[in-house]
Amino acid sequence: MKLGRLNHIGVATPSIEESLRYYRDTMGAVQITEPFDLPEQGVTVCFVDTPDSTGEVGKGTQIELIEPLGETSTLNTFMEKNPLGGQHHVCYEVEDIEEARHWFEGRGKRILGPTRIGAHGTPIFFLHPKDMMGQLTEIMETPKKDAH
C-alpha cells in the first residue's frame, strides 16, 4: 500500500457555527458546505474547501468540521479533554479499502470497528491513535470517478 492523498483533516469544535464564521471571516474560506447531522456517528459535520496546488477550490484537501451531536457522541470524551476542540483526525485516501484493512491488520494496528460508509459516502475505517504515532487516522476509499 502506498501513502494516498490527504483527503481531509478532521477538526472538532464546540460550535460549528462559530467555526464556520472563523474559516469564512478570519481565514477567508470561499467554499463551505451547509452543516448536516450524522446521528449514527454522533456528529454534526460540514466541509471547508481549501484550494489545490493550482489554486482551484473544490479539489483540494478539506477541513472536516465536527461538532458533538447527542449525549453518546464519540466526540464528547475528546471535547472534555479539549474544550476548544482542535485537530481530531487525519484522513488518507486508498484505492481499495479492504486491501488497506488487511495491510494495517497485518501490521498489528487496531482498527476501530467495521468498515462503514463515512461522511463522503465512501467506505472508511479508523485506526487507533496509539498505534498511529498519536494520530487518530481515518482511511477512506477514493470516490470512484463515475460516482454521481
Which residues form the interface with ligand LZKTLF4L (CB under 6 A)?
10, 38, 41, 43, 45, 64, 66, 74-75, 77-78, 88-89, 112, 118-119, 124, 126, 128-130, 134, 136
Instruction: Specify the residue for cell string 471547508.
Output: 48
> What is the footprint of Co ion within residues 64-93 (CB under 5 A)?
64, 91
Interface with Co ion, residue 138, by CB under 5 A = yes
138 is catalytic: yes
Rg (CA), the chain: 15
Catalytic residue among 64, 93, 138, 141: 138
CB of 128 to ligand LZKTLF4L, least distance (A): 6
CA distances in angstroms from 73 to 63, 121, 128, 138, listed in the order given: 20, 20, 17, 17
Cβ neighbour number for residue 134 with a 10 Å cutoff: 8
In the chain, the N- to C-terminal Cα span, in Å, equals: 27
CB of 73 to ligand LZKTLF4L, least distance (A): 7
CB of 24 to ligand LZKTLF4L, least distance (A): 20
Integer Cα distance of 71 and 91 in angstroms: 25
Return the active site residues. Answer: 138
